[in-house]
Structure 1
């Protein structure tokens, strides 16, 4: 009977293959764990931290307004009707013209946005930079658009996913839903009026003083008024398109 002979070089090749397979398996497991940690960080940790920070900022603003010295309201607060629009309901309080308040500093939180249907209450800060504003869980005010209660378009942006995701469910807002904006001096109430489910991320028309999409030209307005615009990314977990919700000012009252 012939006895098989196993050469040393054959054994070495087999050992090298086993080590390569083992190393490859360890590498795949390591990559999988790292990816899992990144997903957990983005979907859980950033939301947790941003929401906590936003809640603390809301509490700080409420304390500040409770003890601080009021600043003058905007000089072009609405009269009995919106300019050129018979649909605007009469605000509960008419303001006398006063000196316009100073423009908020970049990334400064200066207002609170409340959407009862979404159980949402978050700070509004000046600017829409990610690191300075949006990643903190805040809602950002587009520079160049109007301030709360002013004639024109008060336009805001917020994350739909991660970093507090304040606008995660704005697609659920329906016509007539209430949106409130509080400042040091007044509380402004808006009613949701229209939704643009999807438009280009570069559709600047939705931010105009009279907001109207330049991509979907049937969406928006043609007459001056007192508008609130909410924008966020769509579909979820992408930034390819924008979702837009428009609301109209219905009332204002001093704090």
Structure 2
């Protein structure tokens, strides 16, 4: 009988230890999820807001009361940026968060996790023939492309540099495998074919909270405007809701 009691006590002790381990693992998992799904966003949002404020201070404010006229002729092409350097701002009016920094490179640690979206090195720059390819997170680290599946044909995607707004319009959305790199070729989907158009491609993981596939959005160049002359038509909503416009009304 004593042996039987000791066996039951040992069994209870093992179950208790396992229970404590499971509770500890559950708590650690919860803390990891909070860090991954909330804290990384909070930190990235703060960093990106600081970057945007710094760019505005460096470049000067855009006259938010004015719609800039479309320019004739080929757009100016920005100089090739240094690796990891923030060289532009992206505006996607269809997104809940419509503005975020654009940096050179697609390194997770140096660009995508800390600065916003990243330009694939070796792909075209805004204003060039070819394909301006840009990657961003769909969840965590600021979730800049969280709303990418919301984009429809004709929606504007705008790249802002120190002197120019480049306006592209969405043409199609695709779901592809991670290895289908031809989507960022100079002529999207046709590697080795010389480009004849000015394109832009956005890439992000798909579906949400998974890296199983990629969601791809292609857009074609529509027009360009001078930053010194105000916002482009594509950002008219920003003009309508700007503090200066509101105060005057």
The bucket for the TM-score relative to the shorter chain is 0.7 to 0.9
Aligned match of 2:28: 34
Mapped partners of 2:50, 2:169: distance in 1? 27
Please give the root-mean-square deviation of Cα atoms over the aligned residues, in Å: 2.2
**2:8 is equivalent to residue 14 of structure 1:** yes
- Residues 96/161 of structure 1: CA separation in 2 closer, same or farther (3 Å cut): closer
Mapped partners of 1:118, 1:97: distance in 2? 26
Aligned match for 1:56, one of 35, 40, 50: 50
Higher relative CO (Cα under 8 Å, sequence separation at least 6) belongs to 2
Mapped partners of 1:223, 1:64: distance in 2? 34
Mapped partners of 2:190, 2:145: distance in 1? 20
Structure 1, unmatched stretches of 5+, are 1-5, 68-90, 215-220
Superposed CA offset, 1:129-164 (max 9, x none): 111111115100001101112221111000111111
Q: What is the TM-score when the length of structure 2 is the normalising length?
A: 0.81
Aligned match for 1:118, one of 92, 95, 116: 95
Aligned match for 1:185, one of 163, 174, 184: 163
Deviation at 1:172, TM superposition (A): 0.8
**2:177 is equivalent to residue 161 of structure 1:** no
Aligned match for 1:254, one of 198, 215, 226: 226
* Preserved contact between residue 153 and residue 226 of structure 1 (Cα < 8 Å): yes
Mapped partners of 1:150, 1:242: distance in 2? 25
Query: Which is greater in Rg?
Result: 1
Deviation at 1:13, TM superposition (A): 2.4
Deviation at 1:96, TM superposition (A): 7.4
Mapped partners of 1:101, 1:115: distance in 2? 20
Which runs of at least 4 in structure 1 moved beyond 6 Å after TM superposition?
none
Deviation at 1:21, TM superposition (A): 1.2
